[in-house]
Chains A and B, each alone.
Chain A
């Protein structure tokens, strides 16, 4: 994409007509507009950052605002976060471990399934893949009740494996990996077979190493979704010490809450791992999140 930009920029530009504005003015107006919009876009995140230095009850009562009384700002909330924040770091740890386990599981299982669809001809393949597409286009919200009822009947609630297991063979991720594997030359399979590898050995030893970018993009996308996942864990998890960050934070948002400081600073801290990853791997974020728009 960048090469094209270079090419078009290198092209000689026609002289602007006298009455239209000059390129410089146009550029200034454009930059001012884009920067203004970027700032507006960042305001909510900046607002909650400022909120971490304010009194929680004041913030909840008066809302987030532009007018900040600087004399009231302080680090009390930070002290509270690291000394007296109840289950907060337990939730943080739970979310962290669960995210890593679920991302690894999803990548392995979903790519495994996708490989079957991409590399082989077999009876029922079309039907199978149509089912992937249909499942991909049904929002989980529409399927939550049957699964919830099933989980309750099996008395499987409040356990992490039930948070994770239904989503390891994940339709969107399968779809993306299949697209990617379709571009892998089939000769690799033949070469692997000649070398005496099993069909699965070919996948794990030959194909995964050459499709790492796809794994990176999907790791980021799934990691972000799982870190922020709310609805299903909310339905499954019951004990406070097992909560994940979004559920835990949500429990603090009650009219009778007495820990609004934690709600605000905790919300802000929950953004930090994702923000760090984003700054480090921005390209993979954009690739992962726009992966659904399939080319060809």
Chain B
């Protein structure tokens, strides 16, 4: 025993053992079983092999494609919102003008939404987007001369509510990422640019933006991840996994419906396997393209 504790060759394996055990017991073995189940029909605990029927059924199910469309649309829109806006806000905070006190208050206030759980955020937004004319967003709509809007009944307004919830929760965090990235840019870069006669806007495009690339790559990565995995925001906003015409159904929502609500385990396993493959393909491409594997694994 004593010899074991002093053994320098064995030590690293003992250190990483908890990770290996977790990986095998909680992730690899269940996923492996899931792959097997995806070729089976599972009824009342009885499994029969049915070949690729589950996958064919999935391919033909319009609801699956609707969910896929919803998830991709949501992901792309969050990219369009949650990168430029936080970048602009970070640039404002990082600018030389302005009062530090106001900026600190701003940073803290923007960060507060990230502290709320999806459950609480969803409840509040559901109430803000209430259909009645006394709901907060309908009061805003009324101020601009339209409404009342039945926000969560229509596809586009429902999507708007969902995006506002997401933007509300994540703008602060993304702003902090960009701010950290901007503050790491040496100030002589800006001095050199201003000696060359570059104005503020030119400096932003020729100094800030190129030097911010690693941050942009990172924020894009987590936004793709979060966008594809989005489920609870919609689940809370629509108070459950059902929405008019499945307008709020995402791919994870579809998985949840088939696997957990309908308990159709064989078919749901096929859904899970497909989603996992999609995510793995995106991740591996991205990690290889950005050189993360080389950079991280080789040191």
Contacts and interface: CB of A to CB of B under 8 A. Distances in A.
A160 interface: no
> Which of A63, A165, A169 lies at the interface centre, i.e. has the most chain B CB atoms within 10 A of its CB?
A63
Contacts of A137: 221, 225, 279, 283, 287
Interface in B16-32: 16, 18-23, 26-27, 29-31
Given A35-B105, A228-B116, A145 B268 contact: yes
A149 B265 CA distance: 8
B135 A146 contact: no
Interface string B87-118: 00100100111111011011011111111111
A254 to B, nearest CB: 8
B128 A63 contact: yes
A150 B30 contact: yes
Given A35-B102, A63-B132, A137-B283, A42 B30 contact: no
A186 to B, nearest CB: 12
Interface residues of A, number: 110
Given A62-B135, A286-B111, A34 B102 contact: yes
A281 to B, nearest CB: 12
Interface string B137-153: 01100000000000000
B130 to A, nearest CB: 2
B272 to A, nearest CB: 5
Contacts of A200: 5, 11, 14
A142 interface: yes
B37 interface: yes
B59 interface: no
A38 interface: yes
A128 interface: yes
Interface in B197-234: 214-215, 218-219, 221-222, 225-226, 228-229, 231-232
B292 A64 contact: no
Given A42-B112, A293-B180, A141 B123 contact: no
B65 interface: no
B132 A62 contact: yes
10 smallest beta-carbon distances between A and B, as pairs: A63-B130, A116-B15, A63-B135, A139-B229, A146-B30, A228-B117, A120-B12, A38-B109, A199-B11, A198-B5
Interface of A: 1, 4-5, 7-9, 13, 23, 26-27, 30-31, 33-35, 37-39, 41-45, 47-48, 51, 59-67, 109, 112-113, 115-117, 119-122, 125-126, 128-135, 137-150, 165-166, 168-169, 174, 182, 198-201, 203, 224, 227-228, 230-231, 235, 245-246, 249-250, 253-255, 263-264, 267, 270-271, 274-275, 278, 282, 285-286, 289-290, 292-295
Interface of B: 5-9, 11-16, 18-23, 26-27, 29-31, 33-34, 37, 89, 92, 95-100, 102-103, 105-106, 108-121, 123-132, 134-136, 138-139, 168, 171-173, 176-177, 180-181, 183-184, 187, 214-215, 218-219, 221-222, 225-226, 228-229, 231-232, 236, 239, 252, 255-256, 259-260, 265, 268-269, 271-272, 275-276, 279-280, 283-284, 287, 292-293, 296-299
Given A198-B5, A289-B176, 5 more contacts: A5-B100, A116-B13, A137-B221, A199-B6, A199-B14
